[in-house]
């Protein structure tokens, strides 16, 4: 009788505990593992943090033959292989960083069947690349990671992914083919199946929801002030600040540095060495916050990122959800806050315009941008909006954990303020920028105000007690809600939009939904011990030159605080502790816990 997947599954569970320290597969992982154990082509669409990799890593350890994992980024590949090796799994990679001597040696080891898991860059997949190997050891599975890179509809199309199908076709025996991605609209899903030539694949779509992430859009916010305050308030937590352009990244980086906050920065205009250093400092918890363009993050598996701030609106929801999704991969709470300003729309339009000459692509990108803009303005649940976009949820619901459905935000009647501000803009004949308008409203004694005789206006000094920043914030909010517009790029001036005239004439009232500052997430476990364990993890990481989260995730450290293990056996009970980790780190962590007790 042939061995079925039901017979094999207990072995998969045993391996899961042995290597990764987990007692069970998550509900989303199990069907994927089962369909691979049954030998079926499989597509798994799972949100970031759901634990995709384990779905192919465990079956790979059970198949007779090697599993090739196609992975788009060299840094990602190295991280994954390092983490596997640290867990005691024989894995290796093939990419362009190897010298030709290393390459031949490694190919030879692979052919000897020493590695059940081999990560390979798609560029390395010319047909025949593994010919010398397949006569000695069969390729049992090809696992395509980040499979959305296959599709033009994806947000990260990579031509080299077109090598995969011909490569598979050139193999003497067809392997199981599996494809994994976090981000896939139905168009992308169909492309993956078609372009990889999958045979009657099992398709598993996990809900895209990331319940531990808090989503919020802030419009009309003083971005600099908000960002500095936010980062200061979360000084002990790791966070990423994404901005749309290199220049903007530099500006935010300088702002934070000037305020005495140790930050890193990452964008394509920096040297390779600077970039690598910033990334390492962040991964190794030397720097808590990094300011970056979207060039940063594909290779970042860091699981303890507690917040992702978007200083600018990204170009589409795929990018947004992927970037924001880098928060809270360990399942602990994470904040995803987007600071929207109308200027962001202009920046993204411009970027689309210069990105390609292909009119069809431009049309697609513009369509996607519009949905992103809609996200920034919807009064509905933000989570439902996202899930809807990815074809997941059908009915709209209130999630209770996003800026729009969170209790506490209040509707405030700001009609009087609106009338004061708009009439000031009107009296200044729509010729000046935000700062000067704010100065006039405050009643500033600034030279320029005097010279232009703006102190003679009836709106001069309407808000003597408010700070200039508060007045500016008020103006920003009116811009965000489309009563005012900022026009011109070099010296933008404030103009009245049609809605503002209705307010001036007393025809409508202005209500704003204003949110209070969010409190920091409450600590779930004894923070004293948690901080000690963190420090221990960091010093081990430094010795071993691997990022701290690769040793144990924040979640595992928290679970140590809960379980408070006394001996090796109890230590093994902690979720995230496998045999190998017990041997390597058990002693040190047990001692730390004992001292705490």
Neighbours of 358 (CB within 10 A): 11
Position 337 contacts Zn ion (CB under 5 A): no
Total residues contacting ligand ADP by CB under 6 A comes to 18
Position 192 contacts ligand ADP (CB under 6 A): no
Q: Which residue is nearest to ligand ADP (CB)?
A: 51
Question: Which DSSP helix (H) or strand (E) runs through 11?
Answer: helix 5-15
User: Applying CB under 5 A, which part among 200-208, 401-409, 426-434, 536-544 lies near Zn ion?
Assistant: 401-409
- Residues in a beta bridge with 512: 412
Neighbours of 52 (CB within 10 A): 23
Contact 442/468 with Cβ under 8 angstroms? yes
When binding is defined by CB under 6 A, the residue of 8, 12, 15, 25 that contacts ligand ADP is 25
Closest CA to 302 of 316, 287, 317: 287
Regarding beta strands 238-242 and 91-94, do their DSSP bridges make them parallel or antiparallel, or are they unpaired?
A: unpaired
The burial of 19, by beta-carbon neighbours within 10 Å (0-12 exposed, 13-18 middle, 19 or more buried), is given as buried
Choose among ligand ADP, Zn ion, none what residue 322 binds, the Cβ cut-off being 5 to 8 Å by kind: none
Site residues for ligand ADP, 325-384, by CB under 6 A, read 329-330
Contact 39/63 with Cβ under 8 angstroms? no
Position 399 contacts Zn ion (CB under 5 A): yes
- Give the span between the Cα atoms of 305 and 322, in whole angstroms: 13
Q: For ligand ADP, give the closer residue by CB, 248 or 330.
A: 330
Q: How far is the CB of 181 from Zn ion (least distance, A)?
A: 25
The DSSP symbol for 408 reads T
Q: How far is the CB of 25 from ligand ADP (least distance, A)?
A: 5
Residues 6+ apart with CB under 8 A from 212: 328, 331, 332, 333, 334
Position 103 contacts ligand ADP (CB under 6 A): no
Site residues for Zn ion, 355-394, by CB under 5 A, read 381, 383
Q: With H, G, I as helix, E, B as strand and everything else as coil, classify residue 304.
A: coil
Site residues for ligand ADP, 277-336, by CB under 6 A, read 301, 303, 329-330
Choose among ligand ADP, Zn ion, none what residue 478 binds, the Cβ cut-off being 5 to 8 Å by kind: none
Choose among ligand ADP, Zn ion, none what residue 342 binds, the Cβ cut-off being 5 to 8 Å by kind: none
Q: For ligand ADP, give the closer residue by CB, 503 or 546.
A: 546
User: Applying CB under 6 A, which part among 24-32, 230-238, 423-431, 495-503 lies near ligand ADP?
Assistant: 24-32
Q: For ligand ADP, give the closer residue by CB, 25 or 93.
A: 25
Contact 118/69 with Cβ under 8 angstroms? yes
Residues 6+ apart with CB under 8 A from 422: 478, 483, 484, 496, 500, 503, 504
Position 405 contacts Zn ion (CB under 5 A): yes
When binding is defined by CB under 6 A, the residue of 5, 9, 18, 26 that contacts ligand ADP is 26
Q: With H, G, I as helix, E, B as strand and everything else as coil, classify residue 430.
A: coil
Neighbours of 397 (CB within 10 A): 12
Choose among ligand ADP, Zn ion, none what residue 381 binds, the Cβ cut-off being 5 to 8 Å by kind: Zn ion
Q: For Zn ion, give the closer residue by CB, 8 or 383.
A: 383
Q: Which two tokens stand for residue 178?
A: 């599996």
Q: Which two tokens stand for residue 361?
A: 């692509």
Site residues for ligand ADP, 41-100, by CB under 6 A, read 46, 48-54
Q: How far is the CB of 405 from Zn ion (least distance, A)?
A: 4
Choose among Zn ion, ligand ADP, none what residue 402 binds, the Cβ cut-off being 5 to 8 Å by kind: Zn ion
Q: For ligand ADP, give the closer residue by CB, 227 or 553.
A: 553
Contact 232/279 with Cβ under 8 angstroms? no
Binding map of ligand ADP across residues 565-594, x = CB under 6 A, - = no contact: ----------x-------------------
Q: Which two tokens stand for residue 421?
A: 């501000």
Choose among Zn ion, ligand ADP, none what residue 383 binds, the Cβ cut-off being 5 to 8 Å by kind: Zn ion
Question: Which DSSP helix (H) or strand (E) runs through 31?
Answer: helix 30-37
- Give the span between the Cα atoms of 156 and 150, in whole angstroms: 8
Contact residues for ligand ADP (CB under 6 A)? 22, 25-26, 29, 46, 48-54, 301, 303, 329-330, 553, 575
Contact residues for Zn ion (CB under 5 A)? 381, 383, 399, 402, 405
């Amino acid at each position: 009788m042939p061995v079925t997947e039901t017979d094999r599954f207990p072995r998969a569970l045993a391996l899961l505990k042995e290597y990764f320290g987990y007692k069970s597969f998550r509900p989303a992982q199990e069907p994927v593992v089962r369909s691979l154990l049954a030998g079926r082509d499989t597509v798994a669409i799972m949100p970031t943090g759901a634990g995709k990799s384990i779905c192919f890593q465990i079956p790979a350890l059970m198949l007779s033959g090697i599993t090739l994992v196609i992975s788009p980024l060299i840094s990602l590949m190295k991280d994954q292989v390092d983490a596997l090796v640290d867990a005691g799994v024989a894995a290796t990679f093939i990419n362009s960083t190897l010298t030709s001597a290393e390459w031949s040696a490694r190919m030879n080891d692979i052919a000897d069947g020493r590695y059940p898991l081999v990560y390979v860059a798609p560029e390395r997949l010319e047909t025949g690349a593994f010919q010398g190997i397949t006569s000695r050891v069969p390729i049992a599975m090809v696992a395509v990671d980040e499979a959305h890179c296959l599709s033009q509809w994806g947000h990260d199309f990579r031509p080299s992914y077109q090598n995969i199908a011909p490569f598979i076709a050139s193999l003497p025996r067809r392997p199981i083919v599996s494809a994994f991605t976090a981000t896939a609209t139905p168009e992308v899903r169909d492309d993956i199946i078609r372009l990889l030539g999958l045979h009657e694949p099992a398709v598993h779509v996990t809900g895209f929801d990331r319940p531990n992430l808090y989503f919020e859009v802030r419009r009309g916010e003083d971005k600099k002030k908000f960002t500095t305050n936010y980062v200061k308030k979360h000084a002990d937590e790791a966070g990423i600040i994404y901005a749309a352009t290199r220049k903007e990244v530099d500006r935010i980086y300088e702002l934070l540095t000037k305020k005495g906050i140790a930050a890193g920065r990452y964008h394509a205009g920096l040297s390779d060495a600077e970039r690598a250093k910033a990334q390492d400092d962040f991964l190794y918890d030397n720097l808590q916050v990094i300011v970056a363009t979207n060039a940063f993050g594909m290779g970042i598996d860091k699981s303890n990122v507690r917040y992702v701030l978007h200083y600018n609106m990204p170009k589409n929801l795929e990018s947004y959800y992927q970037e924001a999704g880098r928060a809270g991969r360990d399942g602990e709470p994470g904040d995803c806050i987007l600071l929207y300003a109308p200027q962001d729309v202009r920046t993204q339009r411009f970027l689309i315009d210069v990105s390609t000459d292909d009119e069809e692509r431009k049309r697609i990108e513009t369509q996607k941008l519009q949905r992103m803009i809609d996200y920034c303005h919807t009064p509905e649940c933000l989570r439902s909006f996202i899930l809807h976009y990815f074809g997941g949820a059908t009915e709209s619901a209130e999630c209770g954990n996003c800026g729009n459905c969170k209790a506490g935000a209040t509707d405030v009647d700001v009609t009087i303020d609106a009338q004061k501000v708009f009439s000031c803009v009107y009296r200044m004949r729509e010729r000046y920028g935000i700062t000067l308008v704010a100065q006039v409203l405050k009643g500033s004694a600034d030279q320029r105000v005097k010279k232009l005789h703006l102190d003679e206006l009836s709106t001069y000094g309407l808000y003597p007690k408010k700070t200039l920043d508060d007045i500016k914030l008020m103006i920003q909010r009116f811009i965000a809600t489309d009563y005012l517009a900022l026009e011109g790029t070099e010296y933008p001036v404030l103009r009245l939009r049609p809605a503002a005239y209705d307010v001036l004439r007393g025809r409508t009232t202005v209500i704003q939904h204003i949110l209070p500052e969010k409190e920091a997430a409450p600590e779930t476990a004894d923070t004293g011990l948690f901080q000690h364990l963190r420090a221990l993890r960091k010093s081990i990481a430094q010795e071993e030159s691997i990022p701290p989260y690769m040793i144990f995730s924040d979640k595992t450290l928290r679970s140590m605080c809960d379980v408070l293990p006394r001996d090796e056996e109890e230590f093994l009970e902690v979720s995230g502790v496998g045999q190998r980790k017990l041997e390597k780190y058990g002693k040190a962590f047990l001692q730390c816990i004992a001292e705490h007790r």
